[in-house]
Structure 1
């Protein structure tokens, strides 16, 4: 169920691209035009370094603060936030 639309530079990426299929638990929240979709999924976030490499950015002090093709990416261990040019936001957090 791809709810986000990745920028052209990082093709073939969706919500699941940031996650591992293991025994953890994640809360996924998507906000769009005043509407919010929130769900819990089984899995864990990939490491900050893995996601930085996937997006082609540098991780500093265990976190990411970057803009990739107009998408603001903020990540620290256990939490990832993406904010798109059209105002949509996605947050994935360890529960």
Structure 2
């Protein structure tokens, strides 16, 4: 029996960047790139682990890395860094500051 759960599109559709951040100590830099404009900010907290994120998205992590396309969003993650590229070309990057 596989420990990988099938993707649940209704779960993924409701995810926001906050879904990948755990409250607590630390600082994260959030960069959003959209149509030539860049928005950069810093938030308190830490990224969830690659394994937690993989389970949340219903995909498999390999060697501490995650690379998948879920509901049209390309997701790449490794410890301390998350990148998402949306169908419209917008990009979101969250990394340790």
Q: Return the TM-score normalized by structure 1.
A: 0.89
Pairing 1:74–2:71 present: no
Partner of 1:57: 59
**Mind listing any 5+ residue stretches in structure 1 that lack a counterpart?**
1-7
- Please identify runs of 4+ aligned residues in structure 1 that moved more than 2 A: none
Q: Return the TM-score normalized by structure 2.
A: 0.88
Q: How far, CA to CA, are the matches of 1:84 and 1:13 in structure 2?
A: 13
How far apart are residue 69 of structure 1 and its match?
A: 1.3
2:22 is aligned, of 16, 20, 23, to 20
Q: How far, CA to CA, are the matches of 1:73 and 1:88 in structure 2?
A: 12
**Mind listing any 5+ residue stretches in structure 2 that lack a counterpart?**
1-7
How far apart are residue 70 of structure 1 and its match?
A: 1.2
Q: Aligned-pair RMSD on alpha carbons?
A: 1.1
Is the partner of 1:26 in helix, strand or coil? strand
Q: How far, CA to CA, are the matches of 1:74 and 1:23 in structure 2?
A: 23
Partner of 2:5: none
Q: How far, CA to CA, are the matches of 2:34 and 2:84 in structure 1?
A: 12
Q: How far, CA to CA, are the matches of 1:11 and 1:21 in structure 2?
A: 22
Partner of 2:32: 30
